[in-house]
Amino acid sequence: MALPRTAESETTSEFAVPDGLAVPRNDAETTSEFAVPDGLEVPEPSAAEREGSAFGPPSIYSPLAPAAFTPPSGTPAVSLTKDIPWQDRMRTMLRMPVAERPAVETIQRTEDEGGPAVPRVLDLTLRIGELLLAGGEGAEDVETAMFAVCRAYGLDRCEPNVTFTLLSVSYQPSLVDDPVSASRTVRRRGTDYTRLAAVFQLVDDLSDPDTHVSLEEAYRRLAEIRRNRHPYPGWALTAAAGLLAGAASLLVGGGDLIVFVAAAVGAMLGDRLAWLCAGRGLPEFYQFTVAAMPPAALGVALTLAHVEVKASAVITGGLFALLPGRALVAGVQDGLTGFYITASARLLEVMYLFVGIVTGVLTVLYFGVKLGAPLNPDAALAVVNRPVTQIFASMLLSLTFAVLLQQERSTVLLVTVNGGIAWVVYGALHYVAGISPVASTAVAAGLVGLFGQLMARYRFASALPYTTAAIGPLLPGSATYFGLLAIAQNHIDKGLVSLAKAVSLAMAIAIGVNLGSEISRLFLRVPGAGSATGRRGAKRTRGF
């Protein structure tokens, strides 16, 4: 059938009125261009036409079916009960895309009808994030705390971001308003878990809808946290470093009093030298290098003096006080939670500090070997099994490690017990059951992480004070020493094997601690699981 030809001046739009259809025109009446004209009866399409139309509902459509998209009234809020720690509540929200987050809850801390100024809220958020990141918290926990502060003051459309030493946060009021961004660089970092606990308490109060904390009050409390002195004086930290080294020497088989005293004196000398280098502005690499020399020098001196002691226990005890276990755990945790840039930077930092320790110990061992010191790398094969002494030494090591981390006195006893339990589990698996040291270390570290996370949830605090010091007895000090000794004696293959074992033990500790924390979250109640929507956090895995 041939179509009629039309003139070029005629309208050929698909919205044109068909031929033969008269449409009455009323200029006085304003009508929509999409409205059906008066007098026009639109026939009801058949079922086949409805099914084939791109604008018609499918045949399986039912008005009683649940909505497939976000309803016009908005996404229902996730049920975030008060008995769940703010870390879990905010982590649930943070893992959602910003467009899918529920509406903000009732704000309790607005200073006036319009709320506090956005730049001041962002500044407070960055200051809190700076203290947490400088204290050693993981990147995800820092972002969670920053998001909690912003949300507490009504800034729900915010995006915090943490990249090792750089903190940034952006807030966009709506799709038509200009975003506001702020950033802050962490220049100095130091370990003070008492300050970390105080910051966590402040964030917990800000996240509690029943606690009214104005912006000025939050700034005042933050200033007090910054001004607070460390809970332990400098001489107590030096003494704790010595006791830690002595306890570590007992842990690896040095049962003599001379070994304990030599390891303690070497660690205290190394600690004072490190403080002296820090006061002169030297980087941490040189501080670790200098701190590793006195324990190694005392061990070599005892060997040259033909004193019947285990010089390896003296040197290993001094290494325990220097191994960067806290930074290693934080770096691996960031990698497991998807913060790969921060994880790479932290692991690189651990590598530099470890190289500094290696440089200091290798320098002393090299001169000791040249002077004829009878250092025996095969002594690593000897198995020392003294359960009572080792359990006592592991608990003393955890206690002194907690003091070095500036923990609150109320947490020292708990972390001491946690460290003793970790060593009991490791000894039962490795010495009694004959399981490999890497697997035994991973299981013991997993229990440390599980216990630490449970205590953190019970106290609404950070898990670091309950886990970091407890993994002290599991650190690979002896494997590191014997690897360095073999390298100093030109046994490169044997030394690299021992260092690879030390790296494997360190990774087992870090992964075990993180796995224990995740297991606690897996079996405990998750925010939003009991809500009407059942919404869960978005997957962190990339690639599909």
Residue 99 per-residue DSSP state: G
Q: 408 to each of 225, 227, 400, 415, 473, how far by Cα in Å?
A: 14, 16, 13, 11, 20
Tokens 């600690």 label which residue?
Answer: 271
- Residue-wise DSSP of 391-442: HHHHHHHHHHHHHHTT--HHHHHHHHHHHHHHHHHHHIIIIIS---HHHHHH
**Cβ-proximal residues to 277 (8 Å cutoff; 6+ apart), any chain:** 286, 287, 290
The Cα–Cα gap between 300 and 294 comes to 10
CA angle, corner 459, sides to 188 and 528, nearest 5? 100
Distance CA 420, CA 426 (A): 10
**For residues 149 and 121, is the Cβ–Cβ distance under 8 A?**
yes
Residues 267, 321 contacting (CB under 8 angstroms) = yes
Quick one: tokens of 18? Answer: 């068909």
The two structure tokens encoding residue 114: 């319009």
**Looking at residue 357, what is its pLDDT?**
87
**Do 397 and 247 touch, CB atoms closer than 8 A?**
yes
- How many C-beta atoms lie closer than 10 Å to residue 436's C-beta? 12
Phi/psi at 392 (nearest 5 deg)?
A: -60, -40
pLDDT of residue 68: 43
What strands lie across the sheet with 158-163, from one edge to the other? 158-163, 166-171, 180-185
Whole-angstrom distance, CA of residue 423 vs CA of residue 294 = 27
pLDDT 10s per residue in the chain (544 long)? Answer: 555 554 444 545 555 656 666 555 555 444 444 555 566 555 555 555 544 444 554 454 444 444 444 444 444 444 444 556 656 666 666 665 555 555 555 444 455 555 568 888 999 999 999 999 888 888 888 998 998 888 888 887 888 999 888 999 998 887 777 888 999 988 877 778 888 889 988 988 888 877 788 888 999 999 998 887 778 888 888 899 999 988 888 887 777 788 888 889 999 999 999 989 988 888 889 999 999 899 888 888 888 887 777 777 888 888 887 877 778 778 888 887 788 888 898 888 888 888 888 888 888 888 887 887 776 655 554 556 678 888 898 999 999 999 988 888 888 898 999 999 999 999 899 888 888 888 898 899 888 888 888 888 777 778 888 888 888 888 877 777 777 777 777 778 888 888 888 888 888 888 888 787 777 766 665 444 433 333 344 444 444 3
d(CA 518, CA 523): 9
Dist. CA 135–CA 158, nearest whole Å: 24
Type of residue at 471: I
Q: What pLDDT score was predicted for residue 289? A: 92
Contact 455, 466 (CB under 8 A): yes
DSSP state of 475: S
Residue 170 bridge partners (DSSP)? 159, 181
Burial category of 503 from C-beta neighbours within 10 Å (exposed 0-12, middle 13-18, buried 19 and up): middle
- The answer to whether the beta carbons of residues 461 and 475 sit under 8 Å apart is no
Q: How many CB atoms lie within 10 A of CB 95?
A: 17
- Cα distance between residue 469 and residue 448, in whole Å: 10
Bridge partner residues of 180 (DSSP): 171
Q: Report how far apart, in Å, the C-alpha atoms of 27 and of each of 24, 30, 37, 222 are.
A: 10, 7, 13, 68
Centre a 10 Å sphere on the Cβ of residue 67 and count the other Cβ atoms it contains: 7
For residues 508 and 356, is the Cβ–Cβ distance under 8 A? no
Helix (H), strand (E), coil (C) string for 156-219: CCEEEEEECCEEEEEECCCCCCCCEEEEEECCCCCCCHHHHHHHHHHHHHHHCCCCCCCHHHHH
Residue 173: per-residue pLDDT = 80
Q: Are 316 and 478 in contact (CB under 8 A)?
A: yes
Type of residue at 259: V
Query: Would you state the pLDDT for residue 124?
Result: 93
The type of residue at 297 is A
- For residue 97, the model assigns a pLDDT of 59
- Provide the pLDDT for residue 118: 86
In the block, residue with structure tokens 């467009």: 99
Task: Give the DSSP H/E element, type plus range, for residue 139.
Answer: helix 139-152
CA distances from 4 to 17, 20, 514 (A): 16, 14, 76
